[in-house]
Amino acid sequence: MVTGSASGIGAATTALLRERGAEVIGCDLADAEIRADLSTPDGRLSLIEQVREHGPIDAVLAVAGGGKTGLLETNYFGAVATLEGLRPLLAQRTAPRAVAVSSTSALAPANEQVVQACLDGDEAAAVHLLGQDPSGGGVAGGYGVAKRALNRWVRRAAPTAEWAGAGIALNVVAPGVVDTPAAAYILTDPEVRKAVETAAPQPFGGFPGRPEWIAETICWLASADNRFVTGQILFADGGSEAAAVGDLHWQ
Ligand SMILES: NC(=O)c1ccc[n+]([C@@H]2O[C@H](COP(=O)([O-])OP(=O)(O)OC[C@H]3O[C@@H](n4cnc5c(N)ncnc54)[C@H](O)[C@@H]3O)[C@@H](O)[C@H]2O)c1
């Protein structure tokens, strides 16, 4: 089951999985087997109910995100509801896997109160606090906060009895700038493109990356070949995170 299957990274992932013989249930706002708006509680519930009709599933790939509105609602609460809501269907399979798509934007400084409200599951408070924050309340700020909270939720959940204990690998893929409609606002304006590339260079593979490259990473983490990797934030970003963070984690 792939959310965000109609475009960009989700579409590339869906295509790759189908090419490899998988039966894929896509979910998106339109042009998908399941149409659901993951920015709303009703949409999330509808997704879970519709997937349930298909029975147990091998992998849940929470790719849907980006956007200019509903940043916390889709990128954090929609993704977590997808993963949590479908976990019981995963637990019935022999090699279940889950992957969430985050972003290198998660590396940006974030309002800790908003992140905490996300992790507490308090959507109303998180959205309210984000709106109150003059520095972190903008589009770019809200997006990074949502992805940071998602990374932290995965780090907490992955090693628990519900996930690792049930044999379910749960990982994050964090892309750098990738050539999809979501990144068009960066890629089509030469000045913005140059500024972003200079601030966050991608020395391996280039700027922008291709959605198919991210799809390959997601598909491996979601495959039965992944026997031992869980709880990881895997940056698929041409070296952008390594260039920005260096050896900080290891000091
Ligand atoms: N393209 C990039 O440079 C980049 C970089 C880092 C992370 N990402 C992340 O990758 C993921 C995929 O983005 P993309 O680049 O393929 O963009 P995209 O716009 O091509 O695809 C995103 C898909 O998600 C769907 N979607 C958005 N909001 C939704 C909602 N509320 N309910 C259901 N579906 C919804 C859209 O309809 C769209 O089909 C996102 O989570 C995004 O944040 C993208």
Token readout for 119 is 């992790």
Contacts of 67 (CB under 8 A, 6+ apart): 74, 75, 143, 182
- What sections of the chain are H helices per DSSP? 8-19, 41-52, 71-72, 79-90, 112-119, 123-132, 139-157, 184-187, 190-199, 211-222, 240-245
Q: Backbone phi, then psi, for 35, in 5-degree steps?
A: -105, 120
Asked if the structure places residue 97 within a domain, the reply is yes
Active site residue 185: no
Q: Residue 38: CB within 6 Å of ligand 1?
A: yes
Digit-coded pLDDT (tens) for 121-134: 999 999 999 999 87
| 187 inside domain | no
Among residues of the chain, what percentage have pLDDT more than 90? 92
39 Cβ inside 6 Å of ligand 1: yes
Domain of residue 141 covers: 2-176+213-238
CB of residue 72 inside a 6 A radius of ligand 1: no
* DSSP conformation class of 92: T
Whether 182 lines ligand 1, by a CB cut-off of 6 Å, is yes
Residue 196 lies in a domain: no
Average pLDDT of the segment spanning 61-78: 94
Report the separation in Å between the CA atom of 8 and the middle of ligand 1, taken as the mean of its atom positions: 7
Catalytic residue among 143, 153, 163, 235: 143
Q: What is the CATH number of the domain that holds 104?
A: 3.40.50.720
Ligand 1, closest atom to CA 37?
Answer: 32
Q: Which amino acid makes up residue 209?
A: G
Q: Is 204 part of any domain? A: no
Please give the pLDDT value at position 67: 78
Task: Determine the average pLDDT of the residues in 104-111.
Answer: 93
Query: Does some domain include residue 244?
Result: no
Assess if residue 55 is contained within a domain: yes
Q: Ligand 1 centroid vs 194 CA: distance in angstroms? A: 22
What's the structural domain count of the chain?
1
Q: What is the pLDDT of residue 140?
A: 61
Mean of pLDDT values over 53-62? 97
Distances 21 to 12, 16, 57, 146, 238 between C-alpha atoms, Å: 14, 9, 15, 33, 29
Any domain includes 146: yes
Residue 198 lies in a domain: no
Q: In 3-state terms, what secondary structure has residue 74?
A: helix
